Amino acid sequence: MKKFKIVLTTTVLTFAMTCSVLAKDITLKVEANKNGKVKVSGESKKNTENVTIKVEDSKKIYYLDQNKTNEKGEFQFKFEVDPNKDYKGRVNVGGEIEDFEFKTKEKGENPEKPVNPEKPEKPSKPSGGGSSSGGGGGSATKPSDDKKDSSNKNTDKNIDKKIVEKAEKIKKEVKINKEDLKVEVKGNKNVVALKDNVLNNKINKLNEMIKDELKDVKDEKEKEALKKELSVVPIKVEEEKENVVLELGESEIKNMKNEEVGVKVDFLGAEIKVPYTVIEEVRDGERLQIRKSEVRDNNLENKVKGKEKVLAKLYKFDVVKLDGNSEKEVKLEDSTKIIIKVDDNKLNGVKKDTLKIAWYDEETQSWKTLKSQFIPENNIVVGEM
């Protein structure tokens, strides 16, 4: 079974992992025309490294291929897709991942012709930090189409901003804090548990606040986005001791499964968001532990390649199911996130939008990265599976 450790760089698969923060090293450009011809080109700090690409629409995979970067770290893929559809894709350069989106409809430029790098069409879904030009290249055939696209993007940004503001206000009201928790030492672990009925009361309050907030919202997109943003209960664990564990008991698991919510656990500087898709796999009678510990291993930091460097503490996360005295590691699903706070004193001129979360793969003895995004308002880097 793979074991993982996390730095300011991070990815999550089957849990036990160590992570921290590095700086992003892929730039990506996507060009597509109305005939369905597409060119994806990019550059990485990793030369002669394996590169894979996958492109799909909402129903099937259209293109899957593998290549290598050249001595300058450059790579390129050319292919065709059915016109008049929206597509999403993923490029993986030696474990470094960059997502992108594009569409071919109403595009008139030849993909051999470069897109104006100052006016790329960016994907609506964040693809992480770094300088990727993202989305579908080429310019629209009519000026009015440009205005329409710009208007839609601005509307989406306004909705996103409104949702974040509303969600943050509600999260503060329902956050589980120190006074809601109890701590017990079990062996070498400091186990944090919720006091009786705390989670149930917080979930009820969360549902009431969501219902009250949605009653005046007419935009269905905004409603769904707000519900998704509030699909986890925030828990702040303020224990500064070693080997801190948050344990969710049988009653908490049952409540979460009934209400289809997950948790976001803040371990003072490092957070992990465990979605409902993980919670629903916990069987009746089982408990769930989310474990965090710091890793002090200079050998791991020395294995970071190229110009990248570790800019945050190394954290190890384990998510396990407990049944009596037996335990089993949990396979984490999409939407699982790792969040690490940035210390400005350690950046030394590094641009924050190049930061990424990376995980250490003990099987291959190498660092690999998550799709990451820097959030300037909170001074954090978010990595997502």
Q: What is the pLDDT of residues 181-230, one digit of tens each?
A: 999 998 888 899 999 999 999 999 999 999 998 888 888 888 888 888 89
Mapping DSSP to helix (H, G, I), strand (E, B) and coil, where does residue 343 land?
A: coil
How many helices and strands in the chain, by DSSP H and E?
Answer: 6, 24
Q: 333 falls in which pLDDT band (50, 70, 90)?
A: low
**pLDDT of 109:** 43
d(CA 130, CA 342): 16
**Could you tell me the two tokens for 38?**
């597409």
Q: Is the pLDDT of residue 153 over 60?
A: no
pTM (whole model) above 0.75:
no
Cα 135 → chain centroid: 18
Question: What percentage of the chain carries pLDDT values higher than 70?
Answer: 75
Class of domain 25-127: mainly beta
Q: Is the pLDDT of residue 76 over 70?
A: yes
Q: Is the pLDDT of residue 290 over 70?
A: yes
**pLDDT of 350:** 76
d(CA 182, CA 46): 47
Domain ranges of the chain: 4-22+155-384, 25-127
Average pLDDT, whole number, for the chain? Answer: 76
d(CA 26, CA 45): 7
- pLDDT per position as a tens digit, 311-320: 777 888 889 9
Tell me the H-state helices in 81-219. Answer: 143-174, 198-214
**pLDDT of 372:** 86
**pLDDT of 334:** 60
Q: 148 falls in which pLDDT band (50, 70, 90)?
A: very low
Q: Confirm if 306 and 45 have CB atoms less than 8 A apart.
A: yes
Angle formed by the axes of helices 198-214 and 143-174, nearest 10°: 140
Q: Is the pLDDT of residue 89 over 80?
A: yes
